[in-house]
Amino acid sequence: MFRLLHTSDWHLGRKIAGYDRSAEFEAFFEFLERTIAEQKPNLMMISGDVFDTGAPSNEVVRRYCSLLVRLHALFPDLQVVITCGNHDSPSFLNIHAEVLEYFSAKVIGSVEYQETEIDWQKMVSEIVSDGKPAAILCSVPYLRSGDLRRLGENATIKDFYTKLYAFADNVRAGSNIPIIATGHFTATGVTSSDGLPIVGKLEGEVTDNFPPFDYIGLGHIHRAQHCGNRQNIRYSGGPLAFGFVENRQNKSVTLVDFEGSKLTEIRQIDIPQIVDLMIIPAEPGDIADVEQACRQLPDNKDAFLEINIKNEFKTPENKNLIINEFLAGKKARFCNWHIQKAKSANVQESDNVQYTTQEFKNTDPLEVISQIFRQKTSGDLDTKYISMLKEIIEDRK
């Protein structure tokens, strides 16, 4: 049997409202160690967005290297594949590629070329388990538009994977082992983190005639799910909620079993979360509701809080001080205001959303735009515009 542990979108170094999340990442690493000890996968796949930014802090990089070294010491037979996502810098990931090979970790930062031809061989490797070939692995990083153009002016992600499959099938040479691949793109027809349709150049159409990989472990979408009719083309989702839009998602890793080349089972194992992302009160409230919701939190409840407030609450000068007073003696930490405007209220100049520089830096651009729109018009931004904005934001990442 061959067992794969699929995970993605770790976003190491990710912060919320400027708060460090390394305790959550450490808890995830401990969960990984436990899960690998129990489940004994042959291969662990990290399908892109390993880091939250292209230039993570020294401390974040130290923890990443330390994890990979520790996993190798504990599980010398475990192989690891790490591929680049759109948040990662390919050249940064590649810094450790040669060293990590000694720790059974294969790192692929970008598609490589032999002169002008794509070097398929660089992406395709054989996974050996108990001294026998167990799988053909295609390590595909986030594809840049130049990578696709190399295959033709209008080449698609599907064209890329079709060529890759043909190459890998040739390497497999008829043996009874699966061909598995990684990837970091948006498969059309899937649901984004916040349930809205997604558009952008990362998009690839995954239909029934997508090349017949035995499994494709995808990253980029943070909600665990499969693509269309293909149970074996999946997103594992990330290990931690990326932001408040993901606060109700179960986070998990995916385990996939093969007997010979046949996929026999897919399971998800939930990742326990040590810090909750909470939006309180449940309904937008006034100051009294906010106070009650804050004071009701158990003192030792570790949570990041977004405060759901009607916009009548106009105390811009000291509202952060007030919230900190409500939270005195509690472990929970205030992050953002979620300001909801009463539908019929008149729009006034004083309703403007205000951010400190720090808050602004740590807020998702789409959230800023949505909030301002809500404030100005009392309505929600049309999904059509959200899609367009997402495309623009995605392009600038």
Q: Does 52 bind Mn ion (CB under 5 A)?
A: no
Q: How far is the CB of 201 from Mn ion (least distance, A)?
A: 15
Q: Which two tokens stand for residue 324?
A: 């900190």
How many Å is the maximal CA-CA distance in the chain?
Answer: 72
Among the listed residues 6, 21, 32, 49, the single contact to Mn ion using CB under 5 A: 49
Minimum separation from the CB atom of position 9 to Mn ion (A): 4
* 71's tokens: 């996993």
Report which of 2, 68, 70 is spatially closest to residue 41, judged by C-alpha positions.
Answer: 2
- 């948040």: which residue's tokens? 87
By CB under 5 A, which span of 5-13, 20-28, 74-82, 346-354 interacts with Mn ion?
5-13
Stretch near Mn ion under the rule CB under 5 A, chosen from 49-57, 62-70, 145-153, 348-356: 49-57
| Residue 118: its H or E element | strand 117-118
Q: Which residues contact residue 229 at a Cβ distance below 8 angstroms, ignoring those fewer than 6 apart?
A: 208
- For the CB of residue 251, give the shortest distance to Mn ion in the complex, in Å: 13
* Shortest distance, position 8 Cβ to Mn ion, whole Å: 7
Build a one-symbol-per-residue string for 135-174: x at contacts with Mn ion by CB under 5 A, - elsewhere.
Answer: ----------------------------------------
By rule CB under 5 A, what count of residues binds Mn ion? 2
Amino acid at 334: F
Supply the minimum distance, in Å, between the C-beta of residue 253 and Mn ion.
15
Q: Which of residues 14 and 341 has its CB atom nearest to Mn ion in the complex?
A: 14
Q: What is d(CA 306, CA 285) in angstroms, rounded to the nearest whole number?
A: 12
Minimum CB–partner distance for residue 209 and Mn ion (Å): 27
What tokens does 61 get?
């990089």
Of the pair 8, 273, the CB lying nearest Mn ion is at 8
Residue 244: half-sphere exposure toward Cβ, Cα within 13 Å: 21
- Lookup result for tokens 């209220």: 345
Nearer to Mn ion among residue 84 and residue 111 (C-beta): 84
269-288 residues near Mn ion, rule: CB under 5 A: none
Please name every residue paired with 350 in a beta bridge, in sequence order, or none if there are none. Answer: none
9 makes contact with Mn ion (CB under 5 A): yes
Q: Which part of the chain contacts Mn ion (CB under 5 A), choosing from 46-54, 160-168, 191-199, 347-355?
A: 46-54
Residue the block writes with tokens 């811009």: 316
Dist CA 148 CA 136 (whole Å)? 22
Binding to Mn ion by CB under 5 A, coded x per residue (else -) over 329-368, reads ----------------------------------------
Going by their DSSP bridges, the two strands 333-340 and 179-184 should be labelled as unpaired
Q: Please give the residue ranges that form the binding site for Mn ion (CB under 5 A).
A: 9, 49
